[in-house]
Amino acid sequence: GVILMTFLAIQFTIAISRYGIHTYVEKQGRDVAREHAVAGFLTLVRVVAWILGSVFLLDNLGFRISTVVAGLGISGIAVALAAQAILGDLFSYITIMFDRPFEIGDFIIVGDSMGVVQNLGIKSTRLSSLGGEQIILSNKDLTDSRVRNYKRMERRRVLFRVGVTYQTPLDRLREIPGLIRDIVASVEDTAFDRAHFASYGDFSLVFEVVYYVIGNDYTKYMDLQQAINYRIHEEFEARRIEFAYPTQTLFLQKGD
């Protein structure tokens, strides 16, 4: 009877855990990466449930398990101290699995490392960098760091500057902010924010422009910025507005 009750209790605990975890996953949305992570976590739950159930069963069958448990407790503390880095990564893995700060396929930046998430393991997470090499980060480093997830970016803020020569007439300078606003507004999937005569540079009058690109595709952002640059160059040429470049003016004074 004790053996049967212990077996049923273990199976019931595993079933309840599986149901709760799968219910949570269903609410978050199904994907291959999350299901893989859940399978690994359920394996851990089964191991813990069977260990605890076996200890309970042996104790009820009359074995002097308390001495063994005490010895295992002391040994467990020693093992835990020796393997605290591994345990830290394991708990970080559980945190990442449930919190989901990123998914497989997301482009993330962690400190000086950046790349596409390839695999999320119990001990480490693997990124494929822009250079092609694989970057391996411990899960604890990920949970202790600020992670920037570009895959979840809804729109990209773009700031750029345009410099024109000091010889540009004032009426032309006043036309430039409105001209750039019209150019940006005419390009699809952009949202214009502002354009101002920002400062007097060392060799140019500097205009600062801010707009947003709808979406997170970097190639799309570069295509739109290229289109805007072409249009600005075209309109400046038509109005005879000259772009500035680094120059020096040397004044000579003839002596007596």
Tokens of 23: 């219910």
C-alpha of 206 from chain center: 33
Q: Is the pLDDT of residue 61 over 80?
A: no
Q: Look up the pTM and report it.
A: 0.63
Closest CA to 136 of 145, 148, 124, 154: 124
Cβ-count burial of 253 within 10 angstroms (0-12 exposed, 13-18 middle, 19+ buried)?
A: exposed
What's the mean pLDDT in 32-57? 72
Return d(Cα 139, Cα 121) in angstroms, integer. Answer: 8
Q: Which of 185, 175, 238, 235 is nearest to 205 (CA)?
A: 175
Mean pLDDT computed over every residue of the chain: 83
State the DSSP H helix or E strand holding residue 8, giving kind and residue range, or none if neither. helix 2-28
Q: Can you tell me the mean pLDDT for 4-29? A: 77
What is the CB-side half-sphere exposure of residue 239 using CA atoms within 13 A? 19
* Widest Cα–Cα separation across the chain: 120
Token output for 213: 């690109």
Can you say whether the dihedral through the CA atoms of 4, 6, 11, 15 is positive or negative?
Answer: positive
Q: Does residue 177 have a pLDDT over 90?
A: yes
pLDDT of residue 144 exceeding 80: yes
**Residue 25: what pLDDT?**
67
Q: Is the pLDDT score of 178 beyond 90? A: yes
Q: Exposed (0-12), middle (13-18) or buried (19+): which is 47, by Cβ within 10 Å?
A: exposed
Cβ atoms within 10 Å of 41's Cβ, excluding its own: 18
C-alpha dihedral (235, 236, 238, 242), degrees to nearest 10: -170
pLDDT digit string (tens) for 200-254?
998 899 999 999 999 888 899 999 999 999 999 999 999 999 999 887 778 888 8
Question: pLDDT exceeding 90 applies to what percent of the chain?
Answer: 36
Contact 184, 190 (CB under 8 A): yes
Tens of pLDDT, residue by residue over 181-214, are: 999 999 999 999 999 999 999 889 999 999 999 9
